[in-house]
Amino acid sequence: MSNSFNISFKPEIAAAVVKIDAIKTVIDDIHNTDLLNVTNIVTTSYAAVLDIHDTDLPAAVVKIDANKAVIDNIHDTDLPAVKTVVDSNGTKIDTIDGVCDAIKLKTDIIPQKVRGDFSIFYLATTSAAFVDVLNITGQGKLLYCLIEVLDAADTFEIKIIVDAIACTALSHTGDTNKQVIIYADVTSAGDTINLGKVAIASIPGYLLNIEFSTSLQIQIRRSAGTANQILCKAAVNVDSF
């Protein structure tokens, strides 16, 4: 039986040849152009990397070594020197702090008020025993002290005790002039203070000016006579802080 079909594959083969030729053209272009470009890029990059390796890195190592030498010098020399200075200053600061503390202890007890409060004490009595005109605990200054008898036949007696140191008792008899107490000390008494008296008419002022640190006491009595009162008046600045 004879074959009546006429089958031909030439058109399909021709089309495949065209496509293969196109693919070959692309491959040739990749080979002849793109791969050359990549090769050039790789070659250039390698040159740059080689330059970094051969030039830049050694230069960086040199600088790092130089910086390490400076850092080692700071660590080994400068810092210990600074520490020595700091320690020395710390010792001096501690010394200054101790001095300041000592000064503060002293200044804390310095009075903040430099003037005392003026006070007047007065007593009129006929007591034969010593009685207080004033008895102050504290510190201050006795400015003046006046005494008087209202009858010339009576005897006035006064004692002043300053910081527990007793003055010798002072007496007055014979006239009614007001008397002001004054210093009249002598070298024969080593543990007492001797006082005197002067009629007010014969002196220009009343100042006694006895300072006391812990206490002041003034006592009077009529030790003889029975006619009238005896009088005492004292002015004091009492410190109050």
Q: What is the pLDDT of residues 181-205, one digit of tens each?
A: 665 555 455 556 566 666 655 555 5
Question: Taking a C-beta distance cutoff of 8 angstroms, is the pair 221, 128 a contact?
Answer: yes
Asked if 229 contacts 202 with a C-beta cutoff of 8 angstroms, the reply is no
pLDDT band at 85 (very low <50, low <70, confident <90, very high): confident
The CATH number that domain 117-238 falls under is 2.60.120.260
Tokens matching residue 136:
């102050």
3-state secondary structure 89-133: HHHHHHHHHHHHHHHHHHHHCCCCCCCCEEEEEEEEECCCCCEEE
- Of 225, 226, 231, the closest CA to residue 125 belongs to 231
**Across 78-87, 128-137, 170-179, 188-197, least confident range:** 188-197
For the chain, give every domain's residue range. Answer: 10-110, 117-238
Overall pTM > 0.85:
no
